[in-house]
Amino acid sequence: MPAATRTVLSVATTAATATTRSATSAAAATAASPPARRILSGIQPTGVPHLGNFLGALRQWVQLQDQPAQSVVYSIVDLHALTAHPPVPPTTLRDSIHNSARVLLALGIDPKKSILFQQSQVPAHTQLQWVLTCVTSVGWLNRMTQWKTKAGSSPADTAPPAALKMGLFAYPVLQAADILIYRATHVPVGEDQHQHLELARDIAKVFNTNYKINLFPMPQAVSTSAKRIMSLTDPTAKMSKSHANPKSRIDLTDSDTQITKKIRGAVTDSDASVTWDPEHRPGVANLLSLYAACRDLDPASLPEGELKGVVGMANLKQKVAECVVDTVRPVRDEYLRLGGEEAYVREVLEEGNARARAEADATWEMVMKAVGMK
């Protein structure tokens, strides 16, 4: 990030109190009359994101912050990370929070255009969660697909009931609080999160009805044209940072050599032609999707477009590797550079935490008055 950007965020210690008061006043005004379009999204600090994360949600974050007439809030949701089983070691979580901030800055999140903060440093999230829990039906939470999967109510059962924790059951309510505490109007969501956004709307509606106040807007999904990026070793499964085989994904910290080697080893088939046929040739379709996502193209057009004349899987993989390397290299280089600027990264988070607290506290004040606690 340019030095000018870093300098803008510097706040003298002697001015901290005045800055906080100013932020609180501004937040109160914003809460009373929120922007017509406020976007909220979050990422769990579970390691460095992979290329699928970037080409899906995270690149969209950067695009959204550059659109005029809207407010953008991005959170590193470390409270949600506590639902992991087995628990994340404290040192690992601490490092992951810092590294998540580094990678978001490296991707292009601009703290002058967005509020970038650490969820646990804003107490109003969990304060609102309790109030919302008190208006949330157990039946709603029981119907959450992810909970049903973990609880053994679906064929994809992954854990015995005795091992399940209350945090996993109730975390959709915390997600709703994450959204509603900023009175967000729009939320970028993946395919597996639409149900949770619907729950947030249901909770907001019940709260507004119960307390006869139009406090929370009904948050809408932000649609995306991004294609799902699949595993390099199993093109029928989504690319995942939790997969045991590192060859299945391209991490944003991978070197040019590592990226090229992984793509050369990607699963395809024995047909030398390059065609778009996701149903019968998922491996080839995945490579075309990678290339298309990096270049913002339609993958179906590539065999007769930019990749016309490419024959053989080795040649296709070379083209895709070159494209991916060009996409990842600037992000990786900036991420590594920010590794030497720990104080700056901490400052960005501290400033974002203060701004987020001020906005969230203003909403929490209205909630307390609405329910009669103040």
For residue 328, what is the domain's CATH number? 1.10.240.10
Confidence of residue 34 (pLDDT cuts 50, 70, 90): low
Task: Specify if 14 maps to a domain.
Answer: no
Whether 241 is catalytic: yes
Average pLDDT score over residue span 181-194? 88
Residue 43 main-chain phi, psi, to 5 deg = -135, 135
Grade residue 306 by pLDDT with cuts at 50, 70 and 90.
Answer: very high
Euclidean distance between the first and final Cα of the chain, in Å? 44
Clarify whether 150 is annotated catalytic.
yes
Do 356 and 323 lie in one domain? The reply is no
Same domain, 302 and 333: yes
Give the whole-angstrom CA distance, residue 233 versus residue 26: 50
Q: Specify whether 262 is catalytic.
A: no
Domain hosting residue 316, numbered range: 256-339
Residue 372's CB: how many other CB atoms inside 10 A? 7
* Residues 355, 335 within the same domain: no
What is the reported pLDDT for 11?
Answer: 37
> Which CATH number covers residue 74?
3.40.50.620
pLDDT mean over 145-152? 72
Q: At 137, is the secondary structure helix, strand, or coil? A: coil
Number of domains in the chain: 2
Q: Does 142 map to a domain? A: yes
Residues 180 and 294 occupy one common structural domain:
no
- The single residue of 150, 227, 262, 317 carrying the catalytic annotation is 150
Give the CA distances from residue 326 to residues 51, 159, 333, in Å, rounded to whole numbers and listed in that order.
12, 40, 11
The DSSP-derived string for 57-124 is: IIHHHHHHHTSSS-EEEEEE-HHHHTT-SSPPPHHHHHHHHHHHHHHHHHHT--TTTSEEEEGGG-TH
Average pLDDT, the chain: 88
Which of 165, 238, 247, 319 is catalytic? The answer is 238
Query: Which one is catalytic: 148, 165, 241, 319?
Result: 241
Encoded tokens for 280: 């019968």
Indicate whether 31 belongs to any domain: no
Q: Is residue 145 part of a domain?
A: yes
Q: Is residue 66 located within the same domain as residue 214?
A: yes
pLDDT at 181 > cutoff 80:
yes
Q: What is the pLDDT of residues 214-234, one digit of tens each?
A: 999 999 999 776 668 999 999
